[in-house]
């Protein structure tokens, strides 16, 4: 066994004999991008494309400064600070091949909870040209059913009182944009990379809603100067496990506190509208298009919704990973039926994309036995995901008298899951959801009031008033409460 070397900038000279390392000059990088929400996904996606660009073209002005806004970001902040922003990306192929490389584009990391002024200064710095976001669906602070900005959020209220000490992305964006305007600097681009349909438009609308109430004159400047491109992002990035950390130690003798694993597939489709320049990402495979919407709808309604179908039904059946679902014929056939009969009929045609081929590729990607994407990651924050991924498909199918049964079973299963938090063998399921309490309270009334769960209008809009939906849903939810053998119901439909 080789001696173990801790991953940090100084040790790169030794590490480079063991594993590919950044060959570009990290010391010469400046942070043209500031990224809020440095989770696994950012590190496997935007930072990966950036690493590739720096590697091949050596552009020095496009390093990344990471920002964490929540206390929960402290752990990743501490690990990455300790490693000078370096981390390993482990790409796992379906045939068992594994490719690992040290990524170097992250050159700094700041925590908003520790020093809000430093974050504002960084975003207002002349070097900063893009502020990108992966703050998850929940981070946008809108009400799911209306899409309106939630002004009641106490953190938002706080920011109106004390704009110098922001807590949310909105307070930081407006404070730093104000500083740029007052200093005569050009605005940065706000680039959302979250799984939200029209993510740029949503970011625009939310920032403007906040800014208008905070400072109407600034809001006008933002409206005029800041671009909010829509983007579609894609790469399956499971939660890092201890086994991944051990793998690096045992195979390469490298101690990395928080590597990232992902599938080989990667895609990024971006609208080419930037306020203040952008990296030439097209040189490393990013697609710049005039309109991203058809791509994002296709991806959210097939990939992300497909994940949720497998995740929620899989959780109740007792499958632990997505690939475990995909060795179960019933799940595979059910997924395909959902995609063909419910998701596809309400999609817009995407130029140059063969929808059947796209669905085949999703089946192959979900089946990758080395990714081991946990059902719990997929089911986490379902209350923020399902309205956009799945409920929207049900609504559109109701409007055109299309099939709704495959998606409705998932909603009925989600009710049971939120109520009982156990699988069909009575094993506990750990639910991760900001709305968990509310979901549980609504779901537990199902026995006496079968529609209680779907009456949560913030999630389901007025589905509880739709006769056809109510009939299908009530029948399914009652069956699941009588007998949790979810596979039986799936089999009856395929």
Residues that bind ligand CS2 (CB under 6 A): 195, 234-236, 303-304, 307-308, 378, 385
Write down the least CB distance from residue 235 to ligand CS2, Å. Answer: 5
C-beta of 236 vs 407, nearer to ligand CS2: 236
Beta-bridge mates of residue 348: none
Write down the least CB distance from residue 123 to ligand CS2, Å. Answer: 26
C-beta of 7 vs 386, nearer to ligand CS2: 386
C-beta of 308 vs 397, nearer to ligand CS2: 308
Contact present, 227 and 189 (Cβ < 8 Å): yes
For residue 190, give Cα distances in angstroms to 30, 174, 353, 381, 437: 18, 11, 28, 24, 33
**Radius of gyration, alpha carbons of the chain:** 23
Write down the least CB distance from residue 131 to ligand CS2, Å. Answer: 21
For 189, the enclosing helix (H) or strand (E) is strand 189-192
C-alpha dihedral (34, 72, 258, 173), degrees to nearest 10: -10
Here the tokens at position 411 are 């909603």
Write down the least CB distance from residue 321 to ligand CS2, Å. Answer: 12
Write down the least CB distance from residue 386 to ligand CS2, Å. Answer: 9
C-beta of 234 vs 244, nearer to ligand CS2: 234
Write down the least CB distance from residue 384 to ligand CS2, Å. Answer: 9
Largest CA distance in the chain: 67
Alpha carbons 102 and 123: distance in angstroms, whole number: 26
Contact present, 244 and 262 (Cβ < 8 Å): no
Alpha carbons 113 and 36: distance in angstroms, whole number: 13
Write down the least CB distance from residue 311 to ligand CS2, Å. Answer: 7
Place of tokens 């086994």: 243
Write down the least CB distance from residue 175 to ligand CS2, Å. Answer: 30
Here the tokens at position 106 are 């992250």
Cβ count within 10 A of residue 164: 10
C-beta of 89 vs 452, nearer to ligand CS2: 89
Contact present, 377 and 429 (Cβ < 8 Å): no
Write down the least CB distance from residue 294 to ligand CS2, Å. Answer: 17
Alpha carbons 439 and 379: distance in angstroms, whole number: 13
C-beta of 142 vs 268, nearer to ligand CS2: 268
Alpha carbons 342 and 404: distance in angstroms, whole number: 7
C-beta of 195 vs 227, nearer to ligand CS2: 195
The pair phi, psi for residue 189, each rounded to 5°, is -85, 140
Alpha carbons 201 and 135: distance in angstroms, whole number: 15
C-beta of 358 vs 481, nearer to ligand CS2: 358
C-beta of 266 vs 412, nearer to ligand CS2: 266
C-beta of 113 vs 332, nearer to ligand CS2: 332
**For every residue of 15-78, which 3-state class applies, written as one string?**
HCCCCCCCCCCHHHCCCCEEEECCCHHHHHCHHHHHHHHHHHHCCHHHCEEEEECCHHHHHHHH
| Residue of closest CB approach to ligand CS2 | 307
Write down the least CB distance from residue 214 to ligand CS2, Å. Answer: 32
């Amino acid at each position: 066994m080789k001696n173990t070397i801790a991953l940090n900038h100084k040790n790169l000279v030794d590490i480079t004999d063991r594993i590919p390392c950044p060959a570009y000059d990290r010391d010469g990088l400046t942070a043209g991008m500031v990224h809020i929400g440095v989770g696994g996904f950012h590190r496997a996606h935007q930072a990966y494309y950036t690493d590739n660009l720096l590697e091949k073209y050596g552009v020095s002005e496009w390093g990344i400064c990471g920002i964490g806004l929540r206390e929960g970001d402290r752990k990743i902040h501490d690990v990455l600070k300790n490693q000078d922003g370096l981390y390993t990306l482990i790409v796992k192929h379906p045939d068992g091949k594994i490719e690992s490389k040290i990524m170097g584009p992250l050159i700094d990391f700041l925590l908003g909870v520790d020093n809000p002024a430093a974050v504002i200064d960084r975003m207002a710095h002349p070097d900063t040209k893009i502020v990108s976001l992966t703050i998850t669906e929940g981070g946008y602070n809108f009400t799911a059913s209306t899409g309106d900005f939630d002004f009641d959020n106490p953190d938002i209220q706080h920011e109106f009182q004390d704009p110098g000490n922001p807590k949310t992305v909105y307070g930081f964006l407006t404070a730093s944009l104000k500083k740029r305007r007052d200093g005569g600097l050009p605005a940065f681009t706000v680039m959302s990379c979250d799984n939200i349909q029209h993510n740029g438009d949503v970011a625009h609308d939310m920032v403007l809603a906040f800014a208008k109430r905070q400072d109407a004159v600034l809001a006008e400047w933002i409206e005029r100067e800041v671009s909010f491109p829509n983007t579609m992002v894609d790469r399956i990035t499971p939660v890092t496990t201890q086994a991944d950390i051990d793998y690096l130690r045992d195979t390469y003798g490298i101690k990395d506190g928080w590597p990232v694993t992902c599938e080989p597939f990667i895609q990024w489709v971006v609208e080419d509208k930037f306020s203040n320049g952008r990296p030439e990402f097209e040189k490393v495979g990013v697609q710049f298009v005039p309109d991203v919407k058809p791509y994002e709808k296709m991806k959210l309604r097939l990939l992300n919704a497909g994940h949720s179908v497998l995740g929620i039904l899989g959780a109740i059946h007792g499958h632990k990973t997505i690939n475990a679902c995909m060795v179960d014929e019933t799940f595979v056939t059910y997924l395909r039926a959902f995609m063909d009969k419910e998701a596809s009929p309400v999609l817009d045609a995407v130029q140059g994309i063969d929808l059947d081929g796209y669905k085949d590729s999703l089946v192959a990607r979900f089946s990758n036995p080395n990714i081991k994407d946990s059902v719990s990651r997929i089911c986490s924050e379902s209350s923020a995901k399902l309205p956009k991924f799945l409920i929207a498909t049900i609504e559109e199918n109701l409007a055109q008298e299309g099939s709704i049964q495959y998606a409705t079973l998932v909603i009925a299963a989600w009710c049971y899951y939120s109520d009982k938090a156990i699988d069909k063998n009575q094993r506990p399921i750990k639910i991760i959801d900001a709305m968990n309490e509310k979901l549980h309270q609504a779901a537990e009334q199902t026995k006496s009031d079968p529609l209680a769960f779907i009456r949560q209008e913030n999630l389901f809009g007025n589905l509880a008033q739709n006769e056809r939906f109510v009939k299908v849903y009530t029948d399914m939810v009652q069956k699941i409460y009588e007998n949790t053998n979810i596979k039986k119901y799936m089999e009856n439909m395929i």
